[in-house]
Structures are given as C-alpha cells and as structure tokens.
Amino acid sequence: MTPSVSPSYKEREKILGRPLAEALGLDDVVYEIDNKSITNRPDLWGHYGMARDLAAVLPSPLTPLPLQPLERLRGRGETKLQVKVEDKKLCPRYMAAVVDGIEIKPSPAWMQKRLISCGMRPISNIVDITNYVMLELGQPTHAFDAQKLGNTIIVRRAKQNEKITTLDGQERKLDEEMLLITDGKNPVAIAGVMGGGNSEIDDSTKSIVIESANFNPISIRQTSQKLGLRSEASMRFEKSLDPNLCEVAIQRIISLIKASCPQAKAASNLADIKNFKLNQGPIKLNLEWLNKKIGVEMPKAKVVKIFKSLGFVVSGGKMLSVKVPTWRATKDVSLPEDLAEEVVRIYGYDNIKLTMPQASMQAPEVNEEREFVNKLKDILSGGAGMTEVYNYSFVNEARLKKLNIDADKYIKLANPLTNEYTLLRQTIHPLLLENVVANQRNFKVIKVYEVGNVFWNKAGQLKKDRTGKEKLPHQQLMLSCVYASEENDNFFKLKGIIEYLLLILGIKEVGYSRSHDIEYASNESRVEVGGELTGYLFNIDGNIAKNVGIKINAAICELDLASLFKRYQSAGAKSYQPKNKFPFVYRDLAFVIDEKILYNDFKEAMLGANGLIKEVELFDLYTGDKVGNGKKNLAFHITFGDPKKTLTGEDADKAQDEIVKHLNKKFGAQLRDF
C-alpha cells in the first residue's frame, strides 16, 4: 500500500521507541530476480504481477491497488483532447487524458526511496509517478507538458529520415517502420521507447497529458535495435503487454497525482482507442490427462483452487473449461500443457514423489524394409569396403544437361533453397559423380554409395487428387553405387560388389543383358533379378565424364530397392552350409573370346562345366593388339573342392581340361598362357 504523505498522530505514536532504520523504512530488503523463464512473462515485469504469483503460494492474500474510478478521470470539458491512431496494428490501444492543477515538486521520501532501491533516479513528482507505476504494474506510461503538446495527438509511422531529439539530448534519424507520437505536425515521442525533448515536463509545467498505451512488441523491438536505444519502457513493451493494463495504469497514476497534488483535476475527455482481441480460451483440460502428465493424483478442488489463485476462471466437471486472465493471454498460456505447468509450479515440483513409469511397454513392430536397408548398408560399408554418402535430393539443371539428361521431365521446386539446385532428383548417381569430382584429387580409388528416394511424375508435373489439390510426387527408394579409379576394370569390380551384395542377401537368379537405354553410358547392361528389370550397370562415357569434370574412369550401378526387397522377402530363411572339411585347389585360367560374348553367360557356362568348381572370380580384363580386334582376354581365379575327399593335382588337371573343352565348344574360347 502507498504510505501516507504525512503520518497521523496515532501512526507517530506507533513508531516511538522503534529503531530509527525500522521507523524510517530503511531496513527493507531488495530481491533482484534474474531468471529468463520469469522475465519472458510480461505480467512479471511489475511488482504487482510478482505479488500476484506469490499470493498463490503464500497464506497472505493479494492486496488490491487503490485506484481512481474511471468516471473521475473524465473532465467537464474544459479541454477537448483529440486522438487519432493511423496504424492500429502497431498501436492496439491508446489512452490519454489532460490533468490540470499540477505542481512540480520533489516526490515524497517513501517514493524516492523505492525508486532508488530499484535503480532509478528521482526527478520530480510527475516523472517519478510514471516510473513508479511502470515498476509497480509493468506498464510504461508517459507524461507530456500539455502546453507544449497541445490538444491533438496523432500516432503514426515516421517519415523516412524524419528526426527527433529524445529526452537524453540525442538527435535520432527515423525510418518508415518506426512508430511516433506527434502533436499533429511534429514528433513528440518515439512510441514505446523514449519521449521527446520538445514536450518534456519542467518546473513551469501546470498541465499535463497522461499517456497509457500498448504497442506492437515486434515493432518496438526493431525500433529499439535500429536506434541502439533500449529503455525500461521498450524492454517491457517487447514482452507483449496486456492492453487492459493501460486502463489500470492510468487509474493508478491519477490516484498518485491526486495524493501529490490535491488540487489536480481531470480537465479533458478520457481518450481511449482500442483495436485488440485477446485469446482467453476457454481451454479444455482433462483432469485424468493432467494427473498423468504431472505424475500426481490431484483432486479437482485443489486444481480449481490453484487456478483461481492465479486469476483463471474455471468451470466444468472432469473436463475443466479454463478461461485465461488477460495478463496471461497475450502469448503465455494457450495450451493444456501451459495449464499443467501452472498447476505443478504452484503445487511445487519438490512435492512430487519419484515414481516409476506405469505405462505398459511393448516392443515396436519390426519394419522389415528398414531392416533390409540397414543390412544392405552393413554389407556395402563392411564387407565391400564402400563409403556411404548423403546428398541433398536437389539437382542442378545445368549439370544434368552436361550428362545429356533431359531436365524438362524433372519436378521443379516452387521455392528452391538456392538458384543452382532447383529440381528434385529422378536418379541418384549424378550427385555421386559430383562427389567423385570433389574427391578425385585426394583418392586414387573412390567407392561410394547412397540409398535414397527419387522423385518423378509424368512430364514433371504433380498429379492432382479428386479435390484438385496437388499430390506429393511418387517416391522410389533406390541404391546407387559408383566405383571410380584410373583402372579400366571398374565395371567388373563394381559388378563383383553387386553380386557379393545379392549373394549375402540370398537373392538369386541374377542376370545381365546388353542395353542402350542411357545416352551417357558405355558398356551398359541391364541388371535383371528373376527376369525382372531391377537396374542398370554401366561405365560413364569418357567424353561425358570429361564434360562434368571427372578425370578418372567411373562405373555406375543403380538398383530399385523395392524390387530387391520383394526378392529378399521371398528368399526366406537361409539354410546352414557346413564348412568344407577338405582343402581347396586353386587354378588361374585366361581365355580369349569374342568381345560380344557376355561375361555372365561365360561364367555360368564355366560353373556348369565340372561339379568340382566351387567359385569363379574374374581378376583381369584386357583388350588390345595382343589379342586381336574384336577379342577380349578374361582371366579367372577358379576354386576346386570336393566335400568327400582331398583333391589331388591330377583331379584338378582333369577338371581344368573339361572346362577348356566345354568353353571352346560353346564359345570358341582359346586358353591363353600367362
């Protein structure tokens, strides 16, 4: 409560014999609170808001403020105050009133002491009252000299490069985004930040205009930052103050002015321009959900009592309907979770006993496709020694053209992150080739792969559903691998990696056939699983490679993982194959064959030539003058084994002779010496 200006006789009797510090109120304690979670709440930027929260947890009730009724703030018409707000979005509420009979003098000692305790310098009774109310309620106000201001107030945006000299004596240049308080012609204050020197109160002031307004927090923040001027007022307006606080503040100010200047009186109409609507709910709150959320079985009566102590209005049964008070409705409380926080902080976090979670726990369903992809990655990264990479799903149109890829069928982004990457990819390997370009200087061999979605639709357009809205593009999960080095056998090395992958996955019936589907490919083969097209394996054409900046040879394989996953599922459980008890015999054979003969056909024929052959591995490919035009040399590492006995050299020689005869008869293959 506000102390009396001069103590009565009974009050003087009470303080006789008490310590001087206590009698003069010098034994008070100042608590300085620096907590971001508190200072971000607009209602806690004033002492009264803090007292309201303390009253909810202490047995002491909140003492109401002594306020002048609004009727007494309206004068008898001596002065007609005209107020116009041009931008109501930046100024949701503006209240003003003229007060005559003002006597400028020092504030009473109790007010000066409180201002000093809060770090503010006492100036005069009127200025100190506006500062006191700001600290008390959290609502900044301002007092203009009515003689200097006149009877007209216009709230508008500043003109570009318009200037004002503020109360600190600094001339400040403004822009069109800043809000001003003007006398109809000239600026008299930067709204919500600082007043102007041309309308400040001085010792000769006899009549004042009290301003109590609400301003857009974003606008105040931006203005404050641009000007490098962060005042006590701007810090509060930045927090989204309750527009209803304007009314309380102007009532409180008039009450204090009357105490300081008994002859003061309202001399004008009370201007009040509003343009705001707060979202006070009501918010639905289920008590069972609340108790589960906070971990305490709290009775309804306790919950309702807590809400009422904080100013919330509550109704309903198990499903409560909670209306939010205006001072918490600007941005603070809007969700059931916010209400749960209010209950638990007043109840006390320390009062919640630790309990084990009661929720039943069940193992999630296995995502077989994800398990398949994870296993595939383990095989490629582990056994095959490849490196997984992650690229964006966006591709560069210019680089696609360098690969002779028609970019017109690609889906274009409506709002691309950059001007370079404007399309959604339909294939992954162009991005892997960019990885090769970036790393070819540092690595002799580059083995990379990526698993990701590609996006496509007919003619590059998004399909529409029955309502006419665009649907998401079709997304297809793909595996793309690139093997790049200075050697000429990258195609076969990558082919070996793919066969190794499919072997471990238990996917059989893998075949290859020549194709010419990809314009920028050489030595291109379709990869078929069970007779179904699953992907492509090819070398990138040398001229195209140079065009995109690749200086080494590169082989590419891209496979449809949806197709492989189906085959993986149908493969079923893998049966255990016992390890061979007897040692293997190894031979290396090289054959010269016609260049048109497919490697896969030749390998299958070799495996079927003799029952002792366990494994065939290609380790060299050569074409050139030494083997003649239209010919190629294939060198194989062949493993022989018998599960029933140890093979002798004669057994291996016999099997080798059968291989040579069979391949010569079927393909005209000639055995070549190393």
Q: Give the torsion through C-alpha atoms of 365, 366, 369, 371, to 10 deg.
A: 150
Q: Which residues contact 450 (CB under 8 A, 6 or more apart)?
A: 388, 389, 390, 391, 428, 431, 432, 479, 480
3-state class (DSSP) for residue 255: helix
Beta strands in 128-255 (DSSP E): 141-145, 152-157, 163-165, 171-173, 179-182, 187-190, 194-195, 208-214
* Spatial contact of 405 and 430, defined as CB atoms under 8 Å apart: yes
Burial of 619 per CB tally in 10 Å (0-12, 13-18, 19+): middle
> 609 is written with which tokens?
């030539």
Distance CA 231, CA 237 (A): 10
Measured between alpha carbons, how far is 555 from 537 in angstroms, rounded to an integer?
7
Q: Kindly calculate the radius of gyration of the chain based on its CA atoms and give it in whole angstroms.
A: 42
Six-digit token string for 580: 């061979």
CA proximity to 237, closest of 188, 194, 208, 273: 194
Contacts of 618 (CB under 8 A, 6+ apart): 492, 496, 599, 603, 634, 635, 636, 637
Cα angle, residue 167 at apex, residues 162 and 173 outer, rounded to 5°: 20
Taking the C-alpha atoms of residue 281 and residue 315, their distance in angstroms, rounded to an integer, is 12
Instruction: Give the type of residue at 252.
Output: R
Rounded to whole angstroms, the Cα distance separating 65 from 52 reads 12
Terminal Cα distance for the chain, rounded: 108
Q: Rounded to 10 degrees, what is the CA torsion of 195, 199, 202, 208?
A: -100
Confirm whether residue 342 is marked as ligand binding.
yes
Q: Strand 510-514 vs strand 283-286: parallel, antiparallel, or unpaired? A: unpaired
- Pair of tokens at residue 662: 């069979």
- 3-class state of residue 25 by DSSP: coil
Q: Is 341 assigned a ligand-binding role in the annotation?
A: yes
- As given in the structure block, the two tokens for residue 201 are 């109160």
CB atoms within 10 A of CB 250: 26
332 known member of a binding site: yes
Rounded Cα–Cα distance for residues 412 and 394 (Å): 9
Structure tokens, 417: 């992150």
Residues making up the annotated binding site are: 332, 338, 341-342
Residues making up the annotated binding site for Mg(2+) are: 332, 338, 341-342
